[in-house]
Structure 1
Amino acid sequence: MMLSRMVYAAPLSMLLIVSSASAAEGDPQYGPNPELPAPQRGLLPNMTVPERAPWGDHRPTVPEGYSIQAIATDLKVPRHTLVLPNGDILVAEGKGGGNAPKLRPKDFIAGLIKSRGTTSVKGGDRLTLLRDGDDDGRYEMQTVFADDLNAPYGLALVGNDLYVANQDALVRFDYREGQTRASSAPEVITELPAEINHHWTKALTASADGRYLYVGIGSNSNITERGMAAEVDRARIWEIDPGTGAHRTYATGIRNPTALTIQPGTGQLWAVANERDELGPNLVPDYLTSIQEGGFYGWPYSYWGQHVDPRVRPQNSQKVKSAIAPDYSLGSHRAPLGVDFSNAAVGGQFTQGVFIGEHGSWNRSNPAGYKVVFVPFENGHPAGDPVDFVSGFLTGDGKTRGRPVGVTVAPDGSVIVADDMSNTVWRITRDGNDSTQRKDDMNAASATEAEDRASSSTKDESTSEGDGTTDDEAPTTTA
């Protein structure tokens, strides 16, 4: 008890000095077989969040042959974006959580540290629509599409149904192409776990045929310190029938699945996840992985397959034995919050793979993440080290100008990045990709998407043991 009081009362600067004295950072742990050091446990984890700095005349760095511009500024905590069929962009703005009580003095300290790297702007609880009316790459219209939401995060469009994952419920709007304002209040499809909400974000994507929605639900703790009762229906992905609101658990043991996406051509669900803390600067790697139906991914009992976390009581050897190792390590404490597959229109070396928005670390002495990376794919799987696609968020004097969250790849090959610290939406385009070429690319991408849906429908017909009906007119899906 005396030690706890001493820690709580210690000056913040002294705690920072103590926490930065642990072992030096290791090399990046990229790929399917990361090197995992022995766990390091101490009084406090390393805690360093770069202070905020304005962009001013600066802008993020992108590869040669690409350009970046801010298409929306002065937003209210943009998280994820959705490109609509006519090219409009919806932006989900919000800041959730706040109901998780601090359990230990170091939780209070960590909260102070993390607050240095967040915006002071209040979350908008809304969707903002951006429109480039004359196709010149400048989004001259910025208007509120829907408001009075509750920390919206994930977005998906299936036909004329626009789905939004609030922190407490999955809701639906009617959508007609070209509209600039929701025509009615949202319909609640199903409530989502929202008590405590240690991890409040609710990631969302739709299956390739539009029949199901997938929602990522994060844990209510770092490592079950609130007890297992608080983790009911947490650290998992739900599959939801949007017609009835019925849901089932699709995969478990994923501490915080912060973004979901569907792989073109295969219909495979992929996720990025934030792993556990307080085992050292190089444990545990955050990851990108395909999601197996019924799969268990370790949390809380183990990490990266069968590596047992000794802090969990009681332990469960049977669960550990069944744990699936993720496909690809992004390195420890990168905090990936966005993921989307590329397409041919992006061009260059960035056509086969995924873009990942790395929000950035708070719990290591040398900041990691704070950029958008591209993970190349071969034969449908990650292959090779990640490549920086959008960087320059960190300054040379230990500050940061922004923190990437959601990443969306448009049919025309542009990449849309939400930055929730500078409250900006960035758009990255390939140089020379003029409006005519963009339209051709969008048409080609739409044709490919239609082929994917047809292939998915054919597969469903050939394997279904249901009532014999088919889905020849699968709805258009954008997610």
Structure 2
Amino acid sequence: MTISREHNCQNPFRISCVYIRKRLQTQGISMYRYLLYVLFAAPMTHAADYPPGEIRLTRKIDLHLEATPVEGLAGRTLNLPPGFKVKLFSDQVDKARFMAFDGRGVLHVANMKTSGSQWRPASGRQSTVLALPDADGDGRADRVYVAADDFHWPHSVAFFKGVLFVADDDAIYRLEDRDADGFYEDREVFAEVPGFLGRSSEHVTHSLVFDKGNGKVYFHIGSGCDLCRESDPERATVLEFNIDGSGRRIFASGLRNAIGLDLHPVTGELWGAGNGHDREGPNLPPEWITPIRDGRFYGWPLAYAFRVWTDFSISAYQQAIFPLTEQDSSLVADIERPAALVPGHLAPMGLHFYARDQFPSQYENAAFVAFRAGVLGDDPGYKVMALFTEPDGTGRETRETRTRSNARVADFITGFRPDPQDNSFWGTPVGLTTDDRGFLYLTSDRFTQAVFRIEASPLQGAWENPPPDTLLADAPLRLDSVIRLRRPLEGPGEAQLTADLSAVSGPEELALQRIDDTTFRLRTELSAGPLNGRKDLIIHLEQGEESTKIIHSLVVLPKADQALFADEMLWKQGVLFGAELDPTQTDTVFSGQRALRIAARGFTIEFLPPAPIAGEGYTALHLALHPGDAVGGFRPSFSLVANRDARAVQLIDQIDLEEKQWQEIEIDLNLLALDKPIESLRLVGSLRGTFYLDDIRLVAARPPTAPTAVHEQAQDSTPRGFALDPNYPNPFNSSTTIGYRLDKAGKVQLEIYDLQGQKVKTLVDRNEGPGFYRLEWDGTNTGGYPVATGVYLVRLQSQEAVEVHKMLLLK
């Protein structure tokens, strides 16, 4: 059966109709099953951010991690952002999982006590809950004692009004310490739950979250299999209870293994982090982090991400799920776009929102997620990531789109797997929590059995108006930025701030101008330079024995696309296997005068740049392909490999060998997971016969622009670059970041007003060049005093335009 693109086929897969035809031809899917695909397909309607059926991993940013010795653990280092340090809080644990602090500030941890076993509990009920007091606050547990025992597979603990709740594999237990000796001897079953019962033993680690403000308890029960239709309706769900255990009901479904649960500190909404199924290869499905909402369906076992259907050409999945039903289609059509997607097979564990202030302000209300795996996917894994997004997880409102997401993720702790090319690792991040002082705690439950404490340097500063995020190559770089110390230290002398601008051919040590004890200015004029790539502008902070740094990454964009082939070979030819190239033919051409003819019999074609090229500043590899008379064989393949040893990105699903005309393909460079400049690009495939390539080029990124706020003509299709971006976070409870962009040099004012029109503070009043700017408002007025809870207006004015946005400060 053949279905051409002209038929406008829609189907419940992430894949094209070309792919369906290939699956029908090569996998032998029956007509009956194919008709089910088409009959119950959810229409691929356009969405504001990206359409259903597509996968977009969340944009990743760099926190500039540095190797940091683990205090108390000889010979081990972890990678953390500048100014952070990590301590071994205790190694007197055995498969420590999730944690909670009691009312006295004593850390308690679920201790499975499996004596090295990865997946099975010890015989009997040997597991415990351990207490780890740190009375002197030095970051090391003073002692470790058993606070509760007689558990089978405990994973999650929580406290409510002095009562300890433990989520075991078979029940939620409620325990009290009536004699106040630290041991919780009074015990009762709060709720029974599915445990180790036959095939239902696949996901039996349960997570427990108390919503104290609304009097609710949330409890996750994982699926009993990798992918199947569950007979128990409470499997793969989050249950909701009243605080007293009554009112048990299914709150949300389609959650295969959402171990990480926490409440957002601003909205109070439940969020989760979920594990995907196993058999779709190293990249799929991506893991997700998103709000968990009442009555919603989250995909499993039918789909994942944003309405991307499971690959039912996998026979085990077909047998477990088919036939599909109209109800299945309705469920998938109801899936919301996740707040964040990260690479597959990382096994997200603990999810914890940071609601303290010991860390720098950029981490306010950020989510930390622990990932316990990595060797089965293409991301090294075994790490903690930070997620920065709006409180509701849906994105922010801009002119370009109503719900464009501004979510970003970043590696926050790495190093448990020191060599990403080696499958060995020395620890597995699992549980996360913070204490009242704002220190972050992390458990590891394999190889290194430990609890770690992470803390930030007390010396902290922030850009009030950072340099631009992007500039075109050779553009002037005018720096006039203010850095403000967040909380200067008392006693050890004055703080010293110096800038290292060597990345943009500036001085390595330029002293900043001191305005007062907390305010410093960086002012100089440089050039972005001729080469694209990331340029780190570094501010070093020193005071007494404390030192840290603030880093701003400037991405220099190339002025034009980088051509590999355009009428001739512009990159060198490297490895050539199973193919003959003719770059001079003129009969079949996409653009220009000549195209590259390839006579192939299973091929490898390598392109080598004249010099390594930084991937930053380019968005995609573009190529035009004409299939000629080439055939793909029984299992056709066509892929792109960067730098020879990186993962292959499959392109065959974007190609229709039966469509005898030019087809344009763009491959997102993010899919290549580049960790160094591009030194080689290889096309590898199984095609046999003659086909053609043309217009092969790296696509240069363009600075984002937006129309002006006034005097915009509808017929003018060229956007202008003046814009005030929504502040982030919003609402906020101590500080917020305000971004804006300018298309031309001139006088700029950025001011805060209250709703009565009274000016609260002037943040910017000076001449600035074109570019992208961000600064932080700390919720204070001109006199430096904190302002009250309420709505405030931020006003950006240039010589030609004005924009105003609302901000909500909550305290």
Above 0.5 in TM-score? yes
Moved more, 314-323 or 65-74: 314-323
Q: Deviations over 1:406-428 (max 9, x none)?
A: 11122211000010011100010
Alignment of 1:411 onto 2:430:
no
Q: Which runs of 4+ in 1 moved over 4 A?
A: 32-35, 116-124, 175-179
Aligned partner of 1:432 among 458, 475, 481: 458
Distance 1:187 1:119, change over 3 A: closer
**Aligned residue for 1:58?**
76
**Secondary structure of 1:345's partner?**
coil
Partner amino acid, structure 1, of 2:130? T
Partner amino acid, structure 2, of 1:388? D
**Aligned residue for 1:288?**
289
CA distance in structure 1 between the aligned counterparts of 2:435 and 2:214, rounded to whole angstroms:
18
**Secondary structure of 2:88's partner?**
strand
Partner amino acid, structure 1, of 2:449? N
Alignment of 1:313 onto 2:338:
no
Q: Is residue 77–residue 119 contact of structure 1 (8 Å, CA) maintained in 2?
A: no
Count of matched residue positions in the alignment of Structure 1 and Structure 2? 364
**Secondary structure of 1:318's partner?**
helix
Moved more, 276-285 or 122-131: 122-131
Q: Is residue 352–residue 378 contact of structure 1 (8 Å, CA) maintained in 2?
A: no
**Aligned residue for 1:36?**
55
**Secondary structure of 1:423's partner?**
strand
Q: Is residue 157–residue 165 contact of structure 2 (8 Å, CA) maintained in 1?
A: yes
Q: Is residue 36–residue 282 contact of structure 1 (8 Å, CA) maintained in 2?
A: no
Q: C-alpha displacement at 1:333, in angstroms? A: 1.1
Moved more, 144-153 or 344-353: 344-353
**Aligned residue for 1:297?**
298
Q: C-alpha displacement at 1:91, in angstroms? A: 0.7
Identity of aligned residues (%): 27
Aligned partner of 2:418 among 395, 408, 414: 395
Q: C-alpha displacement at 1:352, in angstroms? A: 3.0
Matches within 5 A, 1:64-463: 64-94=82-112, 118=118, 125-175=127-177, 179-182=181-184, 184-194=185-195, 195=197, 196-209=200-213, 211-224=215-228, 228-229=230-231, 231-309=232-310, 310=312, 311=318, 312-315=321-324, 316-348=328-360, 349-364=362-377, 366=378, 368-381=380-393, 383-396=406-419, 397-421=422-446, 422-432=448-458
CA distance in structure 1 between the aligned counterparts of 2:169 and 2:457, rounded to whole angstroms:
38
Q: C-alpha displacement at 1:313, in angstroms? A: 1.4
Normalised by the length of structure 2, the TM-score is: 0.42
Q: C-alpha displacement at 1:251, in angstroms? A: 0.2
CA distance in structure 2 between the aligned counterparts of 1:177 and 1:307, rounded to whole angstroms:
54
Partner amino acid, structure 2, of 1:36? I
Gaps of 5+ in 1: 1-31, 38-54, 97-115, 438-447, 449-479
CA distance in structure 1 between the aligned counterparts of 2:89 and 2:188, rounded to whole angstroms:
30
Q: C-alpha displacement at 1:324, in angstroms? A: 2.9
Q: Deviations over 1:13-36 (max 9, x none)?
A: xxxxxxxxxxxxxxxxxxx86963
**Secondary structure of 1:338's partner?**
strand
CA distance in structure 2 between the aligned counterparts of 1:138 and 1:173, rounded to whole angstroms:
27
Q: C-alpha displacement at 1:269, in angstroms? A: 0.5
Q: Deviations over 1:119-171 (max 9, x none)?
A: 99959511000011222222112111111112111122111222111111011
Q: Is residue 360–residue 367 contact of structure 1 (8 Å, CA) maintained in 2?
A: no
Gaps of 5+ in 2: 1-48, 57-72, 313-317, 396-405, 460-486, 488-732, 734-811
CA distance in structure 1 between the aligned counterparts of 2:457 and 2:267, rounded to whole angstroms:
30
Distance 1:352 1:265, change over 3 A: closer
Partner amino acid, structure 2, of 1:270? W
Q: Is residue 217–residue 236 contact of structure 1 (8 Å, CA) maintained in 2?
A: yes
Partner amino acid, structure 2, of 1:432? P
Distance 1:147 1:299, change over 3 A: same
Q: Which has the higher contact order (CA 8 A, sep 6+)?
A: 1
Q: Is residue 345–residue 411 contact of structure 1 (8 Å, CA) maintained in 2?
A: no
Higher strand share: 2
Q: Is residue 368–residue 387 contact of structure 2 (8 Å, CA) maintained in 1?
A: yes
Distance 1:121 1:255, change over 3 A: closer
Q: C-alpha displacement at 1:281, in angstroms? A: 1.4
Distance 1:206 1:428, change over 3 A: same
Partner amino acid, structure 2, of 1:83? F
Q: Deviations over 1:93-125 (max 9, x none)?
A: 1179xxxxxxxxxxxxxxxxxxx9949995951
